[in-house]
Amino acid sequence: MRSFLPAVAEQLFRDIQKTYQETSQIPNDLLIALKFVFGSCALQALDLVDQHSVTCLTSPSGRKAFQVTGGSGRLYTCFLSCHYCPCPAFAYSVLRRNEGLVCKHILAVYLSRAMAATQQEIVSDQQMSLLLSGTMDP
């Protein structure tokens, strides 16, 4: 999968994955680095991970999408393969103003994967197709 993140962010996720596997904690230096690289959405994303808000949907054909339950309870379907989230913050801060690399929902997906905290759900190819086309409510 092609990454849309800078190398420093990719290395940060690898470091988080390694230390989290060993200690079940993220050390302060990595938390500071996370805040430095991703700004204010870092803590919000960690909160979403703590709440087990990230689910990976996988279809038999191998397609993947991630659903993140936001702080307000709304479900956002995120796609890492094309680096997209339908939330207003992504559209405004990331796409329009270029103020951040990701929104809190996409960052929560990266973090939950690094921390092995992603919920897993298998959906049919038809359900995935409807989800990808936007005709199925999450």
Token representation of residue 72: 């307000």
Residue range 111-126: average pLDDT?
96
Select from 63, 69, 54 the least CA-distant residue to 115. Answer: 54
pLDDT at 19 over 70: yes
Q: What is the mean pLDDT of the chain?
A: 90
Confirm if 48 and 71 have CB atoms less than 8 A apart: yes
Percent of the chain topping pLDDT 70: 94
Q: How confident is the model at residue 83 (pLDDT cuts 50, 70, 90)?
A: confident
Residue range 19-33: average pLDDT?
95
pLDDT at 134 over 80: no
Select from 64, 99, 70, 66 the least CA-distant residue to 87. Answer: 70
Token representation of residue 85: 């989230």
Amino acid (one-letter) located at 63:
R
